[in-house]
Chain A
Amino acid sequence: ESMQLCSALCVRQCFINNSRTNKLSISFATRRSRGRNYDAELQRCGLEAALVDFGDYHPLKPIMVTDTKTRRGTRKGSTSSSSSSSSSAPPDPLSSMLDGTDPLSMFAAASASETPDLGRRKREKEEEAVGPDFEPWSLKRGEILARFTTTEKLSINLFMGSDRGKATSQGSAVSEKVRTRLEELDDLEEGSQRELLNLSQQDYANRIEELNQSLKEAWSSDQKVKALKIVIQCSKLLSDTSVIQFYPSKFVLITDILDTFGRLVYDRIWTMCSDPRPLPDNFTVEDVNDTAKETCLNWFYKIASIRELLPRLYVEAAILKCNRFLNKSAIQETLPRLTAMIRGIGDPLVAAYARAYLCRVGMEVAPHLKDSLNRNFFDLLGTFRQISSENVRAQLVLQMVEMPEYLTLYSPAISWILQCIAYRAPESLLTEMMERCKKLGNNALLLNSVMRAFRPEFVAARATDFIGMIKDCDEAGFPKHLLFGSLGRSLASADPPESERLTILNEAWKVITKVRSPQDYINCAEIWVEFTCRHFTKREVNTILADIIKHMTPDRAFEDAYPQLQTVIPVQSVELHFQFLLFSVLQERFLPFLDMFQKDSVRVEVCKSIMEVFIKHQVELTRDPVILNAMLHICKTMHDSVNALTLEDEKRSLALLIIGFIRMVSFGRDFEQQLSFCVEARATFCNLEPVLVQLIHTVNQLAMETRRVMRGNHSRKTAAFVRACAAYSFITIPSLSSIFSRLSLYLLSGQVALANQCLSQADAFLKAAVSILPEVPRSISVEGKLRSSESFLLDFINSFLATLLVIPDHPEHGVLYLVRGLLNMVQDYTWEDNSDAKVRVYISALPLLAAMSQETYLYSIPKVDSNETLYGGDPKFLSEINKLCETLIGQILDHLKTLGRDESTRRQGALAFSLFGVLLAHSDLRNNKLSQLAVNLWNLSHKHGYCETRTSVRTLEFIKHQTQQPDMAHLSDMVQRLTLQSRT
């Protein structure tokens, strides 16, 4: 804005070139400061505008390509048509460098035409690698561990060695705890049995980890048999389905051990054959030496003789990769055999997880062998009826587990298998899978896994089919809302055909709305909100939100569902940028929806996330009363959460969000409305200082905006309005606690008031600023550290001085009332000991006084008469200035003397030099006394050799240059007398 005044100090540096006007000779007698013609000076020091012919070339100009092909490859899986690039848009310089085809696809095309043999080898390699788009097991692992937990007590039963000495615990007198401890004493010795009872889930995990460790130890101490035993015992644990809820997690823990074992064996055999040089990664059987083969074979013989089915299966699967050492086709032969072997596992859950493990190992070792994956899945389908067998039912009754919960235990395993199958599978295969599921009477569990594992695009394209299947499936055990949840998840990331969308939503919501349990309901509804937001208008969204509120309100059900409800909000808000209408619709729904968050911390979190989205996506300023109302409500909620215990960071982030909102509010030309909004906001957000600061800025901006609209000529009405603005600032500033924000806001508001011709208001602001100067503490905390406030204060005073130039004197007070007031305050302020700050203020006040004595000021405020007009170069005014200057210079010189006494010669030199600079730039050196003073100061500053020679040399050069200017000849005398200190 126009209020950006440069400080008086800068004047000295800016206007190097000098000129005189003939006017000056008149006032010469009374003026000690050099007369200035600022316009001429500015003109002279400005750079000459050179005309350079740039020609046609410009680096930022896009390279024009006449023939552009549309980019290949649409966004993966999107069903919407790719937008063809319009010809008017500037082409991307990178793509336009190449003539249409990108280098990668060129290579691909080239390789396709290569010799068939090479091509085949390449393809083989491609088949083997699993791309990054395959979600790895490590991701699922944590998810499963977190999801399948139990509070039941678990037990580990380990037999090391033979099964003979089976000792069962039959009502032993020793307490369980003691027994556990005694058993801990026995190590994993041959023939020893360890039965650990009463383990919590965490204990269990720890135990397994211990076993993992002892496996590694046994291996490294060359006890291979013991290692194998540990692995066998561990995999045996997987046949135990007591505490069935924990089974998936148990599977994860134990397969970790199996993985470790598999790696150890593989690495050992690998090192055995890397004797002269290490095996290449793609080694063949011929590279493997006989010893390694023999050892490898030994492992397989050993494993083949494991008595029990499950350990034999798991351990062999774990070292599947070792088949590479034996035979080229060994893996290919082993996988189907192991797959068939799983048929022997009676318990469907155990079998499903065994299949998942086999698929996992298979994917790692030989991802191209899809057949056994499919075989696994078909076997799984074949044995599906086992789930409802008598055995399982009896087990569930015994463990008091409901069927739906039991079925969810399958989902990680089945999902994993399907994920492996679906990975880069052709469409036809997926269709076949779907058909097979249909044949099985649309089993809900399967359907669910299919929807989760297959590509969302695939599911979305057949959404109507899936809905039909969901409807048809028998609800025994597996609730339909879970199915709709999975469907919704797919639809959220891929779009179904447009014509079907409404039907899909209707069908889905029909089921969802009937879900009784609030928890189940919200879990499902949450997913569908996103779909709805994406494809439908406010009416549908509103209906859904209303439904959610209806469901969640009874019995305060919402209390348990905060996380889900919370996600509902960002989800809909993310869509805001093209669906901002939401807010306008939600007037009757949105706030009630928010009211469901009754726990303060949760509510504030929700509010914060809404605000973040709002700030991010709201591009245009708004005055929509609905939005304002809603947002004010949200901001108020956030603000009200602030209390004495709130952390600074938290406060800051809240304040930032609220400020973001305030900046978005604009009532356009309705300035009064805007001001009253600020008044309201001030009342609402009184606890957050940064918000108040922002409000003051907003109001100041408002005043300047008014001025701009009125082109500087305020009518009576607008004049009253800007005075109201000033009043707003004036009464708001004192409530701030930070002294420096108060000071700078006073100054800024004063400038604004002045610009709006509110003289008395400006006066009041500046007076207020001066009057609180003594309150400035000597040190303030900056980013948590205590720092001296001196530099901040100096900065402030300098810009304050710059403003003072244009402030006209108050008619009722004396000449230079404010300048004197400021200098008095500076005089009385308790500066730090050993500080030159006070004198520095004096030195910087001199240029101000010099500027004030000019005929025409450097700058002025339009429609405000500064002192130049008020006094019109009155000699009395000038002599006042001169007196003031003399006093200041006297003070400065006194200080210099004191410094000389204190032996602080370095500081003395620096101060003397800066005073010299001021005199040189601003004083009329034709006056002998002044020029003598200048010479003395120069000498003083050079006396102790602390002066930087480079600066001195440049100063001298500058003075010599000045003497070339007209009317500056007198300087040449002085130059003669300024000597450079010679350092010898």
Chain B
Amino acid sequence: MFSGSFILQIVSETSESKYLGLFNKARQKNETVAGVILLICKEALQHHGISLSMEGVVNLQLSSKSVGVFEAFYNSVKPIQLISSNIEVAKAGKIPGGKTEIPFEFPLHTKGNKVLYETYHGVFVNIQYSLRCDMKRSLLAKDLSRSCEFIVHCQPQKSKVIPTPVNFTITPDTLQSREKNSLPKFLIRGHLDATNCVISLPLTGEVVVENSDVPIKSIELQLVRVETCGCAEGYARDATEIQNIQIAEGDVCHGLAIPIYMIFPRLFTCPTLETTNFKVEFEVNVVVVLHDDHLITENFPLKLCRL
């Protein structure tokens, strides 16, 4: 019988952090994931082979509100496998007691003509890559396994991004609201430095409250993900908030440019993605909250890319 402690651990080459140092590694096709399998046991351990498997999957999920309508398309939301491979690390044998390190290197070979998407943690779309180490053991003992996520960053989609500044003006007249006539007067101007953004750089711009009859309570930047699942027959499109960043609090000084500045959060954003089965897009809303809790929202679709 097996007794004593046993630790199986996969240590990536680079760091302790969850965001493994693999960001820049998946650029070429033959990029590898490297690391160490760490086995710690008190006594010598018998096993029937150790294997390492890599998997990359896109999980699609329909939002609850859509489920009823689109149940028909159930097939289209089954997980899409991007990569899957398996290597044997050690043949059946014995591991001596103590600490054993088994280094490994795993090539990132895609399945057929599939493309590797960037890691993305969303609500309805999840793109995840993981490594799993399995140790087979005799019938009496349970098999052991550990897994670990690694992050994939794609090669740049474009070599250069030409910023496309966007100016905007918000007045009661520009709003598409039924009650726009009942709204107090205000004039808010501003610009975004670019809507095609580099994901590693912040979103920047300025907003100026030129005048407002009602005091302003808050100005916020709402980063929204728009996830679309489906196929040609039909699709489900859901917009959810990623984060909300307040850039102004209280009745700000009129005529003074307030900076728009937002860092794209890691994991929760990825370069804008469009495939046959799903789409991941991002938008930003400039939200002005008036003192009487009126919300004024100006929406800007973003195009994220990686340089």
Complex CA gap A304/B133 in Å reads 35
- In the complex, the answer to whether A307 meets B244 with C-beta atoms within 8 Å is yes
B24 to chain A, nearest CB (A): 12
A310 and B252 alpha carbons, distance in the complex (Å): 13
* Residues of A close to B14: CB separation below 8 A: 290
Q: Report B239-256 CB contacts with A as 1/0, cut-off 8 Å.
A: 000011111111111001
Pair B251/A345 contact, Cβ less than 8 Å: no
Chain B residues near A301 (CB-CB < 8 A):
263, 265-266
Contacts of A880 in B (CB 8 A): none
Cβ-defined contact, A346 with B248, below 8 A: yes
Return the contact of B17 from the options A294, A346, A350 (Cβ within 8 A). A294
B77 to chain A, nearest CB (A): 29
> Are A341 and B251 closer than 8 Å at their CB atoms?
no
CB distance from A226 to the nearest CB of B (A): 19
Q: Verify if A390 is at the interface (C-beta below 8 Å from B).
A: yes
Interface flag for A598 (CB, 8 Å): no
Q: By the criterion of a CB under 8 Å from any partner CB, how many residues of chain A are at the interface?
A: 31
Contact B265 A305 (CB under 8 A): yes
Interface residues of A in 283-308 (CB under 8 A from B): 290-291, 294-295, 298, 301, 304-305, 307-308
- Nearest A residue to B207 via CB reads A344
Among residues 4 to 31 in chain B, which have CB atoms less than 8 Å away from a CB atom of chain A? 14-17, 19, 21
A665 to chain B, nearest CB (A): 68
How many of B's residues come within 8 Å of A, CB to CB? 29
- Measured CB to CB, the closest approach of chain B to A294, in angstroms, equals 5
A964 to B30, CA, bound (A): 122
Closest beta carbon of chain A to B95's beta carbon, Å: 29
CB closest residue in chain B, given A291: B15
Q: How far is the CB of B263 from chain A (nearest CB, A)?
A: 4
Query: A105 → chain B, closest Cβ, in Å?
Result: 47
Q: Which of A378-386, A514-522, A550-558 participates in binding chain B? A: A378-386
Q: B15, A290: Cβ atoms under 8 Å?
A: yes
State how many angstroms separate the Cβ of A64 from the closest Cβ of chain B.
70
Kindly name the residue among B14, B16, B250, B251 whose own CB sees the greatest number of chain A CB atoms within 10 A: B250
Q: In the complex, A239→B246 CA distance in Å?
A: 13
Residue pair B15, A341 in contact (C-beta under 8 Å): no
Cβ–Cβ < 8 Å partners of B125 in chain A: none
| Residue among B16, B19, B219, B251 having the largest count of chain A Cβ atoms under 10 Å | B251
Q: Does B96 interact with chain A (Cβ within 8 Å)? A: no
Residue of B nearest to A384 (CB): B253
Q: A344 contacts which chain B residues (CB < 8 A)?
A: 219, 246-249, 252, 258-259
Q: A389–B215 Cα gap in the complex (Å)?
A: 10
A14 within 8 A of B: no
- Complex contacts, A390 vs chain B, CB 8 Å: 215
Chain B 224-271 residues near chain A, CB threshold 8 A: 243-253, 256-259, 261-263, 265-266
* Interface contact A391-B261, CB-CB below 8 Å: no
The reply to whether the CB of A337 lies closer than 8 angstroms to some CB of chain B is: yes
Classify the interface of chain A: helix, strand, loop or mixed: helix
Q: Are A382 and B256 in contact (CB under 8 A)?
A: yes
What sequence of 0s and 1s flags, for each residue 356-395 of chain A, a beta carbon within 8 Å of any chain B beta carbon?
0000000000000000000000010011011001110000
Decide yes or no: A291 and B243 within 8 Å by CB, A341-B261, A343-B257, A383-B256 being known contacts. no
| CB pair B15 A343 closer than 8 Å | no
Residues of A within 8 A of B244 (CB): 307
User: B252: which A residues are within 8 A, CB to CB?
Assistant: 343-346
Interface positions, chain A 88-123, Cβ under 8 Å from B, are none
A310 and B249 form a contact (CB under 8 A) = yes
Residues in chain A near residue B219, CB distance under 8 A: 344
User: Which among A239, A309, A382, A383 is the interface contact of B248 at CB below 8 angstroms?
Assistant: A309
Residues of A within 8 A of B261 (CB): 337, 341
Are B253 and A343 in touch, CB under 8 angstroms?
Answer: yes
Bound state CA distance, A344 and B250, in angstroms? 8
A340 at the interface (CB under 8 A from B): yes
Most chain B C-beta atoms within 10 Å of own C-beta, residue among A309, A341, A350, A385: A309
A391 adjacent to B253 (CB under 8 Å): no
Shortest C-beta distance, B114 to chain A (Å), equals 30
Are B251 and A391 within 8 A (Cβ)? yes
Beta-carbon contact of A386 and B246 below 8 Å: no
B282 to chain A, nearest CB (A): 15
Q: Is B216 an interface residue (CB 8 A)?
A: yes
Q: Indicate whether A705 reaches chain B with its CB closer than 8 angstroms.
A: no
Q: Is the CB of B253 within 8 A of A385?
A: yes
A341 to B14, CA, bound (A): 35
Contact of A347 among B245, B250, B259, B262 (CB under 8 A): B250
Roughly how many angstroms separate A346 CA and B262 CA in the complex, as a whole number? 19
CB-based contact B215/A391 at 8 Å:
yes
The residue on B at minimum CB distance from A241 is B250
Q: CA A310 – CA B246 in complex, angstroms?
A: 9
Name the interface residues of A195-245: CB closer than 8 Å to any CB of B.
239
B217 closest partner in A (C-beta): A346
Q: Contact between B265 and A346 (Cβ–Cβ < 8 Å)?
A: no
Minimum C-beta distance from A346 to chain B (A) = 2
Known A-B contacts A337-B259, A391-B215; A298 and B251 likewise in contact (beta carbons under 8 Å): no
Given contact pairs A343-B248, A344-B247, enumerate 10 new A-B contacts (beta carbons under 8 Å): A305-B243, A308-B249, A337-B261, A341-B259, A343-B256, A344-B248, A344-B252, A345-B250, A346-B250, A346-B253
Q: List 15 A-B contacts (CB under 8 A).
A: A290-B14, A298-B17, A307-B246, A309-B246, A312-B245, A337-B261, A343-B252, A346-B251, A346-B253, A347-B250, A382-B253, A385-B253, A389-B251, A390-B215, A391-B215
- Interface residues, chain A, CB within 8 Å of chain B? 239, 290-291, 294-295, 298, 301, 304-305, 307-310, 312, 337, 340-341, 343-347, 350, 379, 382-383, 385-386, 389-391
